[in-house]
Amino acid sequence: MKMSFSKLFNVGLLAGCLTLTTVGASVSFAAEELKAVQLYSQDELLRLIHRNEHLSRVVLDDCQLVQDIEARAQTLKIPAYQFLWGDMLAWGVCVDAEPERGINFMRQAADQGLPEGLEQLGRYYSKGKLVQQDKERAVVFLREASMLGNQKAQIELVELFLDGYGSPYDYEDAYHWLYNAVTNDKKTHQKIANCLSKLEKLMHPKAVRKAKRPLEDRKSVV
């Protein structure tokens, strides 16, 4: 039986509409895929951590990277991701809060020499945050972070020295690090100046002179 022209036209029109609908759906799906969040590079993540924006960034990314972050922390054992995953667990960001596991991952990052991990553990022990307060243990972590050039740790270490914690044998190094510190933040600059002024009063004049030498020349001073 032959189909009339009008019926053929209607069938063709329907098929065309279905094709357009399918194409439209595919384009829409592709657009959604393009919105997928890219995993942070090592340098980008370290910058976020340095600015204390790493947790807020994970939230802004709609928690899409939780599994990737966990894999890089737990399986690949990348220090920056161990730090990030530890913070997420400690404070319940995009996951259920597990402070003990969080501290453990922070410690793993610190054990691999991540300055931010060392500084944070030192600060937590100094203030008794999540862990029991232990200022002598805080000194150990902060000294390691200070040796690696973490300016926050250097300031916090001197503040503990001024409160009577740590060893006087470390005063010269602490003074040396802060004296050579560079910052464009006025508040931080003033805080460093205050720390140096107070620490200097606890040191021998010769030790102060040695500590004031540039980083590369310190060992040549007698």
Give residue 12's pLDDT: 53
Could you give the CA distance from residue 83 to residue 93 in angstroms, rounded to a whole number?
A: 13
Unique residue bearing structure tokens 């040549």: 220
Give residue 35's pLDDT: 62
What's the Cα-to-Cα distance from 160 to each of 53, 135, 153, rounded to whole Å?
A: 26, 8, 10
Q: How far is CA 145 from the centre of its chain?
A: 13
The first and second tokens of residue 12, run together, are: 């063709």
Output the pTM of the full model: 0.81
Sign of CA dihedral 79, 80, 81, 86: positive
Q: How many residues does the chain have?
A: 222
What are the boundaries of each domain within the chain? 40-112
Could you give the CA distance from residue 51 to residue 28 in angstroms, rounded to a whole number?
A: 36
In this structure, the dihedral spanned by the alpha carbons of residues 150, 151, 153 and 155, taken in order and rounded to 10 degrees, is 160
Q: How far is CA 81 from the centre of its chain?
A: 8
5-61 residue pLDDT tens = 455 445 454 455 545 454 454 444 444 444 678 999 999 999 999 999 999 999 999
Could you give the CA distance from residue 104 to residue 109 in angstroms, rounded to a whole number?
A: 9
149-174 residue pLDDT tens = 999 999 999 999 999 999 999 999 99
The first and second tokens of residue 77, run together, are: 């054992």
- For residue 206, with 0-12 CB atoms within 10 Å meaning exposed, 13-18 middle and 19 or more buried, which class applies? exposed
Could you give the CA distance from residue 79 to residue 14 in angstroms, rounded to a whole number?
A: 57
Angle between helices 42-50 and 115-127 (to 10 degrees): 30
The first and second tokens of residue 199, run together, are: 């620490």
The continuous run of DSSP H or E covering 193 comes out as helix 186-200
- For residue 109, with 0-12 CB atoms within 10 Å meaning exposed, 13-18 middle and 19 or more buried, which class applies? buried
Q: How far is CA 106 from the centre of its chain?
A: 10
**Weakest-pLDDT range from 61-70, 89-98, 171-180, 212-221:** 212-221
